[in-house]
Structure 1
Amino acid sequence: MHRIIVHSDLNHCYAQIEEMQDPSLRLVPMAVGGSEEKRNGIILAKNDLARSCGIKTGESLREAYAKCPGLLIIHPDYDAYSYYTEKVKDIYRKYTDRVESFGLDEAWLDLSASQALFTDGIHLAKQIQDEVFEKYGLKVSMGISFNKVFAKLASDLDKDRGFVVIDENHVKERIWPLPVSNLLMVGRHTTLKLEAMGITTIGQLASTPHHILTRRFGKTGMELWQFANGLDQTPVQTTDHGRPVKSVGNSKTLIHDIENFTQLYEVFRVLSESIAARLRRLGRQGSVLSIYLRGNDLHGMVRQVKLSRPTNIAKEILASAFRLATRHFYFDIPLRSVGIAVSGLVSDEIDQLSLFETEQDRPRQKALETVIETIRERYGARSIGSASLLLDKELTDFDPLRMHTIHPVSFYK
């Protein structure tokens, strides 16, 4: 292979780190989960004994206890998870400067150039995997291929063995028979649309004329066709260690499912206020907004929009996020967790005046939000806010500004 791209995945990341810190946890069915009372009481990760009892990531603690009454629940220690996953990535950085994080527990590595300094790429990947285990006792699945999409797919194929190589000569044999849902970017809704077109495998997707996919999915259709045919050439970004913040976001697993846009709007309001405050503290504003919506069927969707101008104003973030949600989500299922992120960050000293509003509107709104933030810092997050938040106080009674909960990417699958 000309390119040696590795996708690494710390399997059951939270549970592994808990067992590393306390080896006795390997002897009992154990899962990492939140508070039963606050309904972030769901399984975030589980060990092998819990998995053998049928425990699944994302199910409620109530469901898990029904399967395994003796299940031990450990409350998450996010500081420890962030610390050790960063230590693992430090090992990666010894061998290449091209390390691109994909959530807390996953990363891509480009070992193409490293072969000249160390050994061939496949053996080097195995060496890195062994070093992580020897130093920290953590098991990392490695998928090796000639692009990022197939490397990620390879790492998911055999979690027990934890080392899968797929080269150009075995794509049709090993990848094309797989369900189309295995492909990166193909979520629940896209899978249903593809199945309605008679496309159920990656091979069928690859064989579909790309103009048909483009007509149905727009630009995304061409990307899916390229991914299925092994034509992804996106580079692994240079190491993100110590780089400036590229995005600011918050997500929340809700205390109860929400079933309408009125409830979603109020949750989005809390998230938007937190994101805007964090952006202002960083002296940044962003021009790209993303939303994440995850149903109670544990499937999620991500949608993104380019804003007309950079912003760090909660009112504008809220309006854009809600507009995006109403355009793409129909509440065919209740929502269990939601998130908003702002990227494309620039200095907040850069401002672009819209022709359709007075020059004073935005500075006035930003000043108002800054005053509200100051009051909350002094008297508490709930000391001042919209009266509509009181309609379902239980739902909106959280403070994302001080609760930077990080979930591994696998949690959202």
Structure 2
Amino acid sequence: MNKDRVILHVDINHCYAQIEEMLSPPCRKVAMAVGGNEDQRHGIILAKNLKAKPFGIKTGEPIRDALKKCPGLFIIPPKYDAYQYYTEKVKDVYREYSDKVESFGLDEAWIDVTESIALFGSGEQIAKEIQNRVFTEWGLTVSIGVSFNKVFAKLGSDMIKPSGLVVISRDNYKDTAWKLPVEDLLMVGTATEVKMNKMNIYTIGDLAQTPIKGLQKRFGKIGVLLWSYANGSETSQVDPTGIKRVPKSIGNSWTMPKDINNFREAKIVYERLTNSVACRLREEGYKGNVIHISIRDKKLDSFGKQMKIDHYTDTAKEILQITMNLLDEIWDRDIPLRSIGISVTGLKSYITHTQYDLFGVVEEMEKENQIEMTLEDIRAKFGFFKIDKCSALIDTQLSDVDPKGNHTIFPVGVLKGSIE
């Protein structure tokens, strides 16, 4: 008899909202949701934090309805580039335990660790280690289901939120899974649930014990499939095909240890961020022609602006210059800044002939690029802070960060509320 597979399903809890909280910890203290435009009262709730849960805020409901339940609900517009970046970094943690990682949206993934247990321990042990690492390294909580197939693994990850860990085995699946409502099963939507309820099928156990011929007659092939799901006989493989996406943007952001009060301080931080973005562009073989900046001020109001240039670049000096021009246009200096970000979009793979603007000097751009790559080599060998610009000494509290080497915005202590 073949041994059972060991499959994990990992779900980043209230993903978009949790990433926003990670980027700006004060959001943890208020009822907050990621959604449409609060002023225009349109759009839907994409994610909510734990503070919003007691108000009955639901994912997918209109913003206007959510605001009726909680007039003080703080609405944050979605930042998909940031969500894609951080969720991919979290999945990179999963890939350290198996090369079989299958995405199920941005925030969920299956991991086949069958061949990994000899190295890392049981599926449950691996799940605990992944939870600890994702929280320590990225400040995010995940719920994990461990089972012998993908359907029950996902069912397990949905059972306890946040930070749950549920094992559904051959020995306990009837006691654990069969008592759950049938709508909890993968692929059972609202319409299917209503039809099943009319057949006196209310739980997964009811479905599992319903004669398969009746299900086939009522639902066709999907009825047979759902019956197999309920009985634990689903056997699809974890498919890593296409898991590495071509990025839509490459960016970085930082919530500072103190507020930024002037243009000089902002430039110190943006210099760090643009260097990390330029370095990552070169590492991944891309140049971009759209530079986008984002800022969030002390009042937690967010603003952004972008500029498209007529050539493709991966040079930090040029990106920084455009960044500071954009900042000058959107920042009211009367209100200090709490966090800032930058991203480069309009990406293209390296091309042999790089076209610069009319007044650009190719030799100068190539020289600057060589300087930046030399600095990267030195930092890679001897450490990030072994070589630096004099401007970094103006305010070491703002410059004391390696945004490329450590993308964790806050240490765990901050997330636990030990630091304001």
Q: TM-score range by the shorter chain?
A: 0.5 to 0.7
Does structure 1 conserve the Cα–Cα contact (< 8 Å) formed by 2:45 and 2:58?
A: yes
Looking at structure 2, the residues matched to 36 and 28 of structure 1 have their Cα atoms a distance apart, in angstroms, of 16
Aligned residues: 245
**In the alignment, what sits opposite 2:200?**
198
Matching residue's letter, 1:154: G
Looking at structure 1, the residues matched to 194 and 137 of structure 2 have their Cα atoms a distance apart, in angstroms, of 43
Percent of aligned pairs with the same residue? 58
Q: Offset at 1:22?
A: 0.6
Q: TM-score, length-normalised on structure 2?
A: 0.56
**In the alignment, what sits opposite 2:190?**
188
Does structure 1 conserve the Cα–Cα contact (< 8 Å) formed by 2:8 and 2:123?
A: no
**In the alignment, what sits opposite 2:237?**
235
1:154 aligned onto 2:160: no
**Stretch of structure 1 that moved more, 116-125 or 35-44:** 35-44
**In the alignment, what sits opposite 2:44?**
42
- Deviation per CA, 1:237-295: give whole Å up to 9, x if none: 135333689xxxxxxxxxxxxxxxxxxxxxxxxxxxxxxxxxxxxxxxxxxxxxxxxxx
SS at structure 2 position matched to 1:6: strand
Matching residue's letter, 1:8: V
1:208-219 matches, cutoff 5 A? 208-219=210-221
1:74 to 73, 76, 86: 76
Q: TM-score, length-normalised on structure 1?
A: 0.57
Stretches of structure 1 that go unaligned for 5 or more consecutive residues are 246-413
Does structure 2 conserve the Cα–Cα contact (< 8 Å) formed by 1:101 and 1:240?
A: no
**In the alignment, what sits opposite 2:55?**
53
SS at structure 2 position matched to 1:240: coil
SS at structure 1 position matched to 2:95: helix
Matching residue's letter, 2:54: S
Looking at structure 2, the residues matched to 24 and 239 of structure 1 have their Cα atoms a distance apart, in angstroms, of 38
SS at structure 2 position matched to 1:169: coil
Stretches of structure 2 that go unaligned for 5 or more consecutive residues are 248-420
SS at structure 1 position matched to 2:151: helix
SS at structure 1 position matched to 2:51: helix
1:10-25 matches, cutoff 5 A? 10-25=12-27
Does structure 2 conserve the Cα–Cα contact (< 8 Å) formed by 1:99 and 1:240?
A: no
Q: Offset at 1:37?
A: 6.8
CA gap 1:38/1:27 in 2 versus in 1, 3 angstroms: closer
Does structure 1 conserve the Cα–Cα contact (< 8 Å) formed by 2:22 and 2:140?
A: yes
Matching residue's letter, 2:66: A
**In the alignment, what sits opposite 1:168?**
170
CA gap 1:40/1:116 in 2 versus in 1, 3 angstroms: farther
Looking at structure 2, the residues matched to 100 and 193 of structure 1 have their Cα atoms a distance apart, in angstroms, of 31
Looking at structure 1, the residues matched to 105 and 244 of structure 2 have their Cα atoms a distance apart, in angstroms, of 16
**In the alignment, what sits opposite 1:31?**
33
Does structure 1 conserve the Cα–Cα contact (< 8 Å) formed by 2:42 and 2:63?
A: no
SS at structure 2 position matched to 1:85: helix
CA gap 1:128/1:34 in 2 versus in 1, 3 angstroms: same
SS at structure 2 position matched to 1:200: coil
SS at structure 2 position matched to 1:59: coil
1:107 to 85, 103, 109: 109
SS at structure 2 position matched to 1:32: strand
Q: Which has the larger radius of gyration?
A: 2
- Deviation per CA, 1:337-363: give whole Å up to 9, x if none: xxxxxxxxxxxxxxxxxxxxxxxxxxx
Q: Offset at 1:119?
A: 1.7
- Deviation per CA, 1:350-409: give whole Å up to 9, x if none: xxxxxxxxxxxxxxxxxxxxxxxxxxxxxxxxxxxxxxxxxxxxxxxxxxxxxxxxxxxx
CA gap 1:212/1:201 in 2 versus in 1, 3 angstroms: same
Matching residue's letter, 1:20: M
Looking at structure 2, the residues matched to 218 and 72 of structure 1 have their Cα atoms a distance apart, in angstroms, of 45
1:398-413 matches, cutoff 5 A? none
